[in-house]
Chain A
């Protein structure tokens, strides 16, 4: 079972308190009716599906209830970092440097 750091509670807690909420940094178009079918399909369906560090969202559903962002390596299942919603994407190279 993973231990996950909630950036709002500033606590590292068991996975059962959290719920996965798919890929992060996919903003809903502010004027959906003005988007093309292609752009809307891109927003709605396309995900990066990376093998390696993935920017993704989690919700501390059985805690503070907040959605936050994380970088998790899909190969090792290791969390590289978590950060508050709205904060910029952390730079991957700075995250992977310290790893064994």
Chain B
């Protein structure tokens, strides 16, 4: 058995040894150990280096609040996690762990030079040290900060684990399965309520696991616990261990993270690593207990200095003596019991040093009976030892004067500065807190949620008080849920209630300016830093926190908040509640990204919408791009083609003969009803009354501010029926906007709106041979200039399929859009593809579509407009119905700013040197002006792969419509490009190519 393992103590199974490694060295622990308890059983206290000063550190706590003992854990390749708390990670055969933040080794770390240069790293050192000279920022300071920041190293491999998420609804959720939570669970469960009891530890019991001496209802604590858990299960209570309540959201929704595999030597098949539970509970009982505070004195961070309650836990839960010659340093009764337990387990307690003058006589006589020296009214002023504490320096304090020092040799210092109720989840509810002067702590007051807080988390101390309060609160929530609620009482023996006082940093006879008395261990914040922050003008605790980083580490100040507040309020000369407490934010403990992501990763990160023709495009080797949630074919490269080559070929083929394009993703809205035309008149800028059935028109949709929101071709199928198309990404937005006006402003209109985007597959044919190709398949209409002119629409039959046929063009060529029921899209495509072979039909993607439309000056909303462009700015005043009494945006367009002369207007640009402009590039009138230049617009679209003989661009330029032929300049990092302002139409301005 290991050197520090105590036979007959603890809940670990020493008959089942477990071998793991720490920094490459093999250690043996027992089944049930954490990394920390197993290392301590081997006499290893040094587990890490601190963040800023690289000081040697050991575990200070035994639970999830641990700030120091952060390690990396590895399970084969791909499974590495940094910053795991050694006090939480359970060991299994083969587990590899490593210390962090050290170079070259944990025992000799060159970064510890920071410790000697501590003057540089005082409060606010980032702001002071890295200020000057300015030129040092990029090359010196930032790389330094980046290299020094953070503790562990991020994993670089993709996480091979899976993460699950579930919903859970219950009557009562109880957070914390200590005596309070157990009693609350019973009180609620006996009433037949659905109760869920969660605890972050591997087993339920809380304090009971660390206090086996207690007797409940005549049974030893652990026997009672085992029986009670069975009884609760029999009552139907769902008990979830290794499950942390990370956050309390609105209306009693609590996030739980359940860890399923991190403690297992072999990963079970098909089991997620973690499971995120979204719990909605009618009532919640918070029974998270309390966290012990350190005492603040010089050298309180040396390995071997730890919390007394944690030492008691290591002994009673894990059977580990954290030291054989410990000294106790305390301001609270609880540490006396820790001393007694360690002494009774074979340690030689060197002394109990208490800061108080008056301590319960019973405790003192128990100490004397064990032969333990007692030092009352003492302070601690230093520790010594390099990688492990070897002595504690104490001084008597009388009348505020610190007396002569005395060194006590020891191998551990077990400290207790009292206990802080765990208010994290309560604070997530926006619960208010009230300061309790007697206990020097904040206590919970009111919460807006259906939630009660019980036991030690509201300042009650001892197992008896916890059980009684848990039972009472369990009954209260049962009553709130309409049950009668029975009184339950527990008989407790050997309970350990107690009291204590809370301190700022302990008084000292040494120079306070050189003291390294740590308040926040993880962020290396000392008492001196906090006082300096106050001296330098920080008044609010929120400012002190940010200036010093106190409480900002991954432990979120679980140990440091109240100590920090005591010191800051003392420095400010104010009471603690006037200085205030910083805000607790979720998650309660560090949580993996995997748990939050759950199933939403890889292909499931977001929905991918595919058209009926998508698999054809994939088989043809299309390169896809995401548009909204759609996956659209961007171009169809032939072997050896890059994008530019492919797009050039697709453009040329479409202008020369015929191109085929999958336009199914276009948003489609069916506007139907007796008032449909009136509704369209009010929604769109264009006049619709005179549009005959069978005709279509390009429609512009504005917001009431007068700016372009969306556009699309709209066909009037019958008197009372419009087939509205929208941009691919704008469909849902446009329907929402239409519904908004229809439901809330014009509820008198008799109109129905239906999204039909996914009801239709839309195949577009464009090019001089488009009509020739399509005509043989169309029944019901002649595809001639006379019978079916440009901007016509009709319900007809195409290749035997019911269809809505539109003659429209987004390319400047003769164009048709054939809409057939969605599931027939591929069938239609195949027929046209086959028949089109005689014309050399070419499939094109969105990139060619973009180029061809830009050559014609057709805008893309969201690319050539940005939410500040009016129809007039875009050169589309012709689309605005001047005689209508009102439409959405009409009044907005009349605002003086929108009527202004020098607005940015859409124009074409042709560069003088024939180079291609960059989309987004800024434009100036005078390239010789001083920097910063006056920017007068930007390039919105730019292409050099189309059918024009030089690159083309569209741009928004101040007063551009009045500057045709003038030269503007586009300054780039390496040169300035001159470009001439032109009209936006680069191909066939007379639209002769639209004619059949």
Contacts and interface: CB of A to CB of B under 8 A. Distances in A.
Interface in A64-94: 65-67, 76-78, 85-86
Interface in A1-29: 1-3, 19, 21, 27-29
Contact of A44 (B253, B704, B740): B704
Nearest to A34: B891
Contacts of B747: 85-86
Contacts of B891: 29, 32-33, 35, 40
Contacts of B280: 3
Contacts of B744: 57, 67, 85
B743 A1 contact: no
B895 A40 contact: yes
B496 interface: no
B614 interface: no
Interface centre among B743, B885, B895 (most CB of A within 10 A): B743
B734 interface: no
B743 A85 contact: yes
B684 to A, nearest CB: 15
A37 B898 CA distance: 12
B894 A44 contact: no
A100 B736 contact: no
Given A1-B250, A3-B251, A67-B744, A33 B736 contact: no
A8 to B, nearest CB: 11
Interface string B401-437: 0000000000000000000000000000010000000
Given A28-B745, A32-B890, A33-B885, A78 B448 contact: yes
Interface in B878-911: 885-886, 890-892, 894-896
B743 A37 contact: no
A29 B896 CA distance: 19
Contacts of B704: 28, 32, 44
Contacts of A66: 743
A37 B745 CA distance: 20
B250 A59 contact: no
A3 B745 CA distance: 27
A35 B891 CA distance: 8
A37 B895 contact: yes
Interface string B247-279: 001110100000000000000000000000010
A21 B740 contact: yes
A19 B736 contact: yes
Contacts of B446: 100
Given A1-B250, A67-B744, A59 B892 contact: no
Nearest to A29: B891
B740 A33 contact: no
Interface residues on B, range: 20 to 34
Interface string B446-486: 10100000000000000000000000000000000000000
Contact of B886 (A19, A31, A100): A31
Contacts of A29: 891
Given A37-B896, A66-B743, A76 B736 contact: no
Contacts of A85: 743-744, 747
Contacts of A57: 744
Contacts of A65: 739
A44 B705 contact: yes
A61 B732 CA distance: 10
Contacts of B251: 1-3
A28 B886 CA distance: 12
A54 B446 CA distance: 23
A2 B280 CA distance: 11
Contacts of B250: 1-3, 77-78
A77 B253 CA distance: 14
A66 B892 CA distance: 26
A67 B895 contact: no
Q: Which of B250, B430, B891 has the most CB of A within 10 A?
A: B891
A98 to B, nearest CB: 13
A29 B885 CA distance: 13
Nearest to A28: B745
Contacts of A61: 736
Interface string A25-57: 001110111010100110010000000000001
Contacts of B894: 33
A72 to B, nearest CB: 11
B280 to A, nearest CB: 8
Nearest to B889: A32
A82 to B, nearest CB: 14
Among B249, B430, B744, B896, find the residue whose CB has the most chain A CB atoms closer than 10 A: B744
A86 B885 CA distance: 25
A57 B739 CA distance: 13
Contacts of B890: 32-33
Contacts of A67: 739-740, 743-744
Nearest to A12: B251
Contacts of A27: 745
Contacts of B430: 76
Contacts of B736: 19, 59, 61
A100 B892 CA distance: 45
A66 B891 CA distance: 27
A35 B704 CA distance: 13
Contacts of A59: 736, 739-740
A3 B169 CA distance: 13
A1 B745 CA distance: 30
Nearest to B706: A44
Given A40-B891, A44-B704, A33 B886 contact: yes
Contacts of A21: 740
B936 to A, nearest CB: 26
Contacts of A33: 885-886, 890-891, 894
A4 to B, nearest CB: 10
Nearest to A35: B891
Nearest to A26: B744
Nearest to B448: A76
A14 to B, nearest CB: 9
A19 B740 CA distance: 12
A100 B429 CA distance: 14
Contact of A1 (B253, B885, B892): B253
A77 B446 CA distance: 16
Nearest to B251: A3
Contacts of A3: 250-251, 280
A19 B736 CA distance: 10
Contacts of B740: 21, 59, 67
Contacts of B278: 1
B284 to A, nearest CB: 15
A42 to B, nearest CB: 12
Contacts of A31: 885-886
A85 B740 CA distance: 11
Nearest to B249: A1
B709 to A, nearest CB: 14
A31 to B, nearest CB: 7
Given A28-B704, A33-B886, A100-B448, A44 B892 contact: yes
A65 B762 CA distance: 27
B599 to A, nearest CB: 15
Nearest to A78: B448
A75 B744 CA distance: 27
Nearest to A15: B250
**Most-contacted residue by chain B among A19, A29, A100 (CB, 10 A):** A100
B885 to A, nearest CB: 7
Nearest to A40: B891
Q: What are the 5 A-B residue pairs with the smallest beta carbon separation, nearest first?
A: A32-B891, A67-B743, A3-B251, A28-B745, A2-B250
6 contacts: A1-B249, A2-B250, A33-B891, A40-B892, A67-B739, A86-B747
Interface of B: 249-251, 253, 278, 280, 430, 446, 448, 704-705, 736, 739-740, 743-745, 747, 885-886, 890-892, 894-896
Given A2-B250, A33-B886, 14 more contacts: A3-B250, A21-B740, A28-B704, A31-B886, A33-B891, A40-B892, A41-B895, A44-B705, A57-B744, A59-B739, A78-B448, A85-B743, A85-B744, A100-B448
